[in-house]
């Protein structure tokens, strides 16, 4: 058992009180602990600062990666369009849907039942200028044909010329 006038130290140099010497050495212990803390403050502060900076940098990198992924990932598929002139989604596994992508609105599925040379639907998001593209159509009278599809700045999409039992809109992208 150490004498009451000495402190015990850990291998790292931190003082500690042994059982039975608490009251006798409390002043020495407090002074030794304060001295150790004072001498190691710079090391502790540097370690805390480095840890804080590393945590902040990791959080910033994680946020930037999430933001970049969100900016390049297409949005969820949706089916909320305002149908016009008798047009509607085709039934079965070819349901119409759309989604916002980084380059525009992507269409998918089949539509049926409406009047040609008229508006089909209005998307919630439209192009900044008229976009003209083509879509595959099928008609019992004419078989498979291509039809002109126009997307207007207000989001209205029209089909031109002839009759169509259905129109395929898969992978049509309307730049927005």
The SS3 assignment for 151 reads strand
Give this prediction's pTM.
Answer: 0.60
The enclosing H or E element of 148 equals strand 143-151
Domains of the chain, residue spans = 8-72, 82-175
Written as tens digits, the pLDDT of the chain (176 aa) is 344 456 677 777 766 666 665 566 667 777 776 776 766 666 666 655 666 776 677 778 777 777 776 667 889 999 888 999 999 998 888 899 999 998 999 999 999 988 888 899 998 888 999 999 999 999 888 899 998 999 999 999 999 876 778 999 998 999 98
Report pLDDT for 68. Answer: 73
DSSP-derived secondary structure for 105-124: EEEESEEES--SSEEEEE-S
Q: Kindly report the CA angle at 99 between 158 and 107, in degrees rounded to 5?
A: 40
Tell me whether residue 150 is exposed, middle or buried, using C-beta atoms within 10 angstroms of its C-beta: 0 to 12, 13 to 18, 19 or more.
middle
């Amino acid at each position: 058992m150490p004498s009451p006038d000495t402190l015990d130290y850990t291998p790292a140099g931190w003082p500690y009180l042994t059982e039975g010497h608490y009251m006798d050495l409390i002043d020495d212990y407090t002074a030794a602990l304060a001295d150790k803390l004072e001498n190691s403050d710079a090391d502790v502060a540097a370690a805390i600062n480095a840890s804080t900076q590393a945590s902040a940098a990791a959080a910033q990198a994680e946020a930037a990666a999430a933001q970049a992924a969100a900016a390049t990932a297409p949005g969820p598929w949706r089916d909320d369009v305002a149908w016009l002139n008798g047009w509607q989604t085709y039934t079965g596994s070819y349901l119409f849907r759309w989604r916002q992508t980084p380059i525009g609105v992507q269409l998918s599925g089949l539509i049926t039942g409406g009047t040609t040379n008229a508006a089909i639907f209005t998307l919630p998001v439209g192009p900044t200028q008229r976009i003209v593209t083509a879509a595959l159509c099928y008609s019992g009278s004419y078989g498979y044909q291509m039809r002109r599809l126009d997307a207007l700045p207000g989001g209205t999409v029209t089909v031109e010329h002839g009759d169509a039992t259905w129109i395929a809109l898969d992978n049509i992208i309307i730049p927005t």
